[in-house]
Amino acid sequence: MADTRKPLDKERVFYFADTLAAGQAMYAKQGATTDGVISCAGQRRIKGNVSTSQTPASGFPRLRFSMDGVNFDLIVPLTKDSSQSGNQYPFDVECFLPYATLELTNGAGGVATVRAYAELSPEGSGATSTGPSPPTPGSGLPATYRATFSVAAAGAGQFLMLENPAGSGKVLRVTEQLLSKPTATLGWSTVKQSSPTTLGTPVATPGVSLDSADPATPTGVVTAYTTVPTPGTAVGTVWRLPSVTAVDTFIDTPGSDGLQKSIVLRAGESIALVTTAAATIVGLLEWTESDT
């Protein structure tokens, strides 16, 4: 019987069909890509399914998200659909980081036939309408910036600040915080301040625009500190992790569900990231900037 399925869009879909020996691993690829890493650039969600004839090894299949393949690593395990026959693992999750790899390892028990696919799609895509065409995804949204950091914090105290300078005329909204694999076990907190951090040994950490149509230089100023600075006036703690180890990755996306506000920084306000121990700390901050 002829295959009547429509061809897959290789710019947005990656897929895999093969057999795996017991203990063998697979990394789903996109089109002719051979390294198993799929770019999520410009996409908000990744959805698809993994089907395998043998029981996968514990912890698989899974999606591995990364920033640059070295400093960031966020793993999302996939859950078996018990309502379906066989080993079916459907998924529909947000693209937390710019790159994704779909991984599966065959558990003990013979050769596994594996089929996997995933579609990368902008949030809200796929809707049908008889009215005017919807706007291009991302149009009309506030300018968005990211700053990645790797800071050798000298000891307990603040080690990074995002500041909305006094008189800026802008409102900053922090939409993502990510902390990954510090070199020592530590506690972490994010403190909102009504006046900025001072002294210490500051190191500029520039933010990068996610859209070249937006101003290249953000209003928000990110500063790292390699010696412990003097804190500003605290409003309160907005995020706290009591223990983060060298194998942990944590992500916070305030306001992402649209049911509450993100962390709002008006002119003169800031957030400071605080550690309880000396360590090299890797992470990411994302924020938007608007007039209101």
| 212 or 134, which is more confident | 212
Position 3 pLDDT exceeds 60: no
Please report the pLDDT score of residue 16 as a whole number: 67
For the CA atoms of 54, 60, 66, 71, the dihedral, rounded to the nearest 10 degrees, stands at -130
Average pLDDT score over residue span 106-124: 77
Two tokens at 143?
Answer: 């300018």
Average confidence score pLDDT of the chain = 82
Please write the tens of the pLDDT for every residue from 195-209. Answer: 999 999 999 999 999
The set of residues, in sequence order, having a beta carbon less than 8 Å from that of 126 and lying 6+ positions away, is: none
Two tokens at 199?
Answer: 């002294």
What whole-number percentage of the chain has pLDDT above 70?
81
* Domains of the chain with bracketed CATH: 13-121 (2.60.120), 143-290 (no CATH)
Whether the CB-CB separation of 115 and 20 falls below 8 Å is answered with no
Please report the pLDDT score of residue 100 as a whole number: 81
Two tokens at 205?
Answer: 């950490």
Average pLDDT score over residue span 234-247: 92
Average pLDDT score over residue span 156-160: 97
Please write the tens of the pLDDT for every residue from 14-45. Answer: 666 778 888 888 776 554 444 567 777 667 78
pTM of the predicted structure, to 2 decimals? 0.58
Question: For tokens 């198993």, what's the residue?
Answer: 36
Position 280 pLDDT exceeds 60: yes
Please report the pLDDT score of residue 10 as a whole number: 43
Please report the pLDDT score of residue 25 as a whole number: 83
Whether the CB-CB separation of 118 and 14 falls below 8 Å is answered with yes
Q: Output the CA torsion sign for 120, 124, 129, 131.
A: negative
What is residue 101's DSSP assignment?
E
| Among 107, 120, 288, 108, CA closest to 211 | 288
What is the Cα–Cα distance from 95 to 121, expressed in whole angstroms? 10
Question: For tokens 């006046």, what's the residue?
Answer: 195
Give the N- to C-terminal CA distance of the chain in Å, as an integer.
59
- pLDDT band at 12; cut points 50, 70, 90: low
Helix (H, G, I), strand (E, B) or coil at 38: strand
In the chain, the amino acid numbered 251 is I
Please report the pLDDT score of residue 275 as a whole number: 97
What is the Cα–Cα distance from 283 to 96, expressed in whole angstroms? 13
Q: Which of 62-76, 185-199, 216-230, 242-256 has the lowest mean pLDDT?
A: 62-76
Please write the tens of the pLDDT for every residue from 78-98. Answer: 888 888 778 888 888 888 777
